[in-house]
Structure 1
Amino acid sequence: MARLVLINGAPASGKSTLAHLLAQERALTLVLDLDAIRGSLGRWAEDPVTAGHAARALGLAMAEAHLRSGWDVIVPQFLQRAELVLALAEVSMRTGAEFVEVALVSDPDEATRRFAARAGSTDANHRDAELLQDVPGAEPIEVMYAAMIELLRSRPATRYVRTRAGDVDGTYADLLRAVAAARETAE
């Protein structure tokens, strides 16, 4: 059975790194990075809200097509509202795929430190995240992190993985256990 794995977590929590590691577990698994899709849209920064909606629509269509083909999809995304979670769950139901929700957690101060440590990164997604933080009215990482935790409280099936700063292998082992536990519960 195909599965759709949502990895939620603050910026710099290791979502993308862990998603790419997890993708190596099963052939043709798609790491569906919505921020990369948004970054592929011309002049997206002129209207980041519309660009974000367009990227999500494209991402959902891609996820559905890939799941219908019988392959897994992993979505590493920092979410604070339920809309995309519910849309991903709906795609899973329509395609008969298993839906696994995982959240990478630390604490708000750690999340803020990790985000700040990436300043000046050459990675396009990291630069874009910095750009979005500089938009007038953007909420601080601590506020966004609190909103994510509030969302997670409403999602009882979410499996939590405490990130280990500097220990990718240990965090990845915990992620594998969380995904396996979610699968056991689903069966």
Structure 2
Amino acid sequence: MPALILLNGPPACGKSTLARRYATDHPLALNLDIDLVRSLIGRWRDDPHTAGRLAREIALAAARAHLASGHDVVIPQFLGRPPFIEQLESLAREVGATFHEVVLLDSKENTVRRFADRARAAADPLHVEAQEMIGRGFDDVPAMYDRLMAVIPARPGARIVHVEDGHVERTYQALLRHLA
């Protein structure tokens, strides 16, 4: 049975890193990065809210097709509101896939520090875009963290994986245990 794995968490907690690792270790698994999908939409920065909605719709369609073919989908995405999480859960049910909701979490202070460190390094174009959006007042990391913390109690099936700075392998193994 294919799995739909949501890796939720604040910025700079390792969602993209773990999604890439999972796809590398699981043949034909799809790493469906919604930020990457959004970046494929022409002039998305002119209307980031509409572009984000379109990217989520595209991601749902892609996930449906991939899961229906019998393969896993992992979605690394900060979701500080329940509706898209609920859509993913419903999609998994519709196509007969298992749904795993995992929240990667560290303290707010460590999260803010890691985001600032990542922004200074600015190696990944998607990370640069995230920094630009926050820099334009689109959102801020502490507020995102707080929204996520407010969502967690409403999602009793969500499993928390604690992130330790510099321990990617340990975090990945904890993720795999939650998926077993």
Question: Which TM-score band (shorter chain)?
Answer: over 0.9
Matched position secondary structure for 2:55: helix
**RMSD between aligned residues:** 1.0
Q: TM-score, normalised by structure 1?
A: 0.93
Shift of 1:118: 1.2
Matched position secondary structure for 1:151: helix
2:145 is matched with 145
2:75 is matched with 75
For 1:29-178, list aligned pairs within 5 A: 29-120=29-120, 121-136=122-137, 138-178=138-178
Counterpart Cα distance in 1 of 2:123 and 2:167: 22
Q: Which amino acid aligns with 2:17?
A: T
Shift of 1:140: 2.2
Shift of 1:135: 2.2
Q: Which amino acid aligns with 2:115?
A: F
Q: What are the ranges of 5 or more consecutive residues in structure 2 without an aligned counterpart?
A: none
Q: Which amino acid aligns with 1:126?
A: H
Q: TM-score, normalised by structure 2?
A: 0.96
Q: What are the ranges of 5 or more consecutive residues in structure 1 without an aligned counterpart?
A: 181-187
Q: Which amino acid aligns with 1:123?
A: D
Residues 152-184 of structure 1 show CA distances to partners (whole Å, capped at 9, x for unaligned) of 11111111100010111111111111111xxxx
Contact 2:15 2:104 in 1 (8 A): yes
Contact 2:12 2:114 in 1 (8 A): yes
Counterpart Cα distance in 2 of 1:73 and 1:52: 19
Matched position secondary structure for 2:119: coil
Counterpart Cα distance in 2 of 1:105 and 1:31: 20
Runs of 4+ off more than 3 Å: none
Shift of 1:25: 3.2
Shift of 1:24: 2.8
Shift of 1:149: 1.2
1:183 is matched with none
Shift of 1:119: 1.5
Q: Which amino acid aligns with 2:91?
A: V
Shift of 1:92: 0.4
Matched position secondary structure for 1:118: helix
Counterpart Cα distance in 1 of 2:164 and 2:123: 23
